[in-house]
Chain A
Amino acid sequence: MQKLPTFAHYLNNNSVYFKMGFVFKFSLFILVGIISLFLQNVAVNLGLAVFFFILIFVTGFGRENRKIIYLIGYSIIFFSFFWVVLSRVPGDVTYLVWPWKTFVSDRTFDLLAIAICKWLSIASAGILFLVVSSENELINSLEYFNLPEKAIYTATIAFNTVGFTLKDISVVENALTARSYSNRGISGKIKKIYFIGGVVLLNNLKKIGTLYQSYVLRSGDD
């Protein structure tokens, strides 16, 4: 069965997710995000997160995408650090007072749990949206809403430029490696950023003329 690309995955072309419609999925994603942001309930947010993670992995979202799961892990460590070491939340019981006058109470852990669960539900909703939605669906929905042709063209160019730019970066990196360019030390890294940034930036800016000509030729709009 043919598989079609989404923003972060591949799904069978007859997948129910493709039949749901981009606007519906996007609206659900926004709605869930907003509700989770302002909901202070651990159980509901945790339940939503578990439900979304199940949906994500049911699609066959593979281990190769684990970087994003690590990012969520870092976030949780970061939240925990800030809440435990730097907060001053009064509670019934105080467990620990830090030398810098902040303290850990029973309420600290309540707020920490709320923050973690809230973030888990928001992040999982975001990942699920990316796993089940595609660039084509986005562009088609822009056309469906009769947005100006130029706005749709802008979005298409932006997505295409991402591909070109990543390729340019890889080419310049390969060229630097082939010339045995030393990437050691801070100055080496900074020089590398200059090389890559300069080449990629100017290359892309030069493409504007070509893309404009192509737009004129296709639309007859000059």
Chain B
Amino acid sequence: MAKGKQAVNFVLIGVLAGIVAVLDYIGVISFPMGVFSVSAFYIGSAFFMAFAVWFRGKGLLAIYLGLLIGAILAGTFTVFAFVLALGNVIGSAIPMLFFNSGKFNMELKRGRDYLAYIVSATILQQVISAAWTLTGFYIVGFMPAEAALAAATGWIGGGVIVSLIIGIPLLKFTSPVVKRTILTR
């Protein structure tokens, strides 16, 4: 890889991580669900999905770094933050795999693109993030197994709404701009 390209990548990861940190901070502070550093209607998840789809591995790295910085900003930086952050990274990787497989268009132009979005970002991303985090809470004894369904319903319900209302327009209308300005570098 050319040196210049590498430098742009580091700048890109830094900027994205900063944006992720702010989104995480806003999410944690504005709509806390009660569990330390977990929020319902977490608007960040829609942006994380977009960053992963647009920038692939660099986006995922930025999400992880940004979530750790976000936890520092919100004052919720615990050992658990390293594990919680992975849940969002793994969740965001699902739409990234779908939309970078070459079969679907990230600008959501056809019906099957929307279907891929709903399967990957609205359903799988939320389910995987929730399952990862809530399993973690169960393993370390913060939550009884019987509460998993109630907690997952709140998490996934909020995530689905955010994914549909924020995620679809974000991908549809911002992808062309990002493609023109950043992805062509």
Q: Tally inter-chain residue pairs, CB-CB below 8 A.
A: 189
Interface of B, secondary structure class, is helix
For residue A77, CB closer than 8 A to chain B, the reply is yes
Least CB separation from A131: chain B residue: B75
Q: Is A184 an interface residue (CB 8 A)?
A: no
The CA-CA distance from A200 to B21 in the complex, in Å, is 13
Residue in A closest to B73 when the chains form the complex, CB atoms: A162
B139-153 CB contact bits vs A (8 Å, 1 = yes)? 011111011001100
Q: Which residues of A contact B4 (CB under 8 A)?
A: 216, 221-222
Distance of B171 from chain A, by nearest CB (Å): 12
Interface residues on A, range: 35 or more
| Bound complex: CA A40 to CA B35 (Å) | 19
Cβ < 8 Å to B, chain A residues 125-175: 125-127, 129-130, 150-151, 153-162, 164-166, 169
Q: List chain A residues, Cβ under 8 A from B170.
A: 197
Q: Is the CB of B18 within 8 A of A157?
A: yes
Q: A75-B34, A221-B3 are in contact. Are A169 and B22 (CB under 8 A)?
A: yes
**Interface positions of A (Cβ within 8 A of B):** 7-8, 29-30, 33-34, 36-38, 40, 65, 67-68, 71-72, 74-75, 77-79, 81-83, 86-89, 102, 111, 114-115, 118-119, 122-123, 125-127, 129-130, 150-151, 153-162, 164-166, 169, 190, 193-194, 197-198, 200-202, 204-208, 211-212, 215-216, 221-222
Residues of B bordering A, CB below 8 Å: 3-4, 6-8, 10-15, 17-19, 21-22, 25, 28-29, 32-36, 43, 47, 65-66, 69, 72-81, 140-144, 146-147, 150-151, 165-166, 169-170, 174, 177-178, 181-182
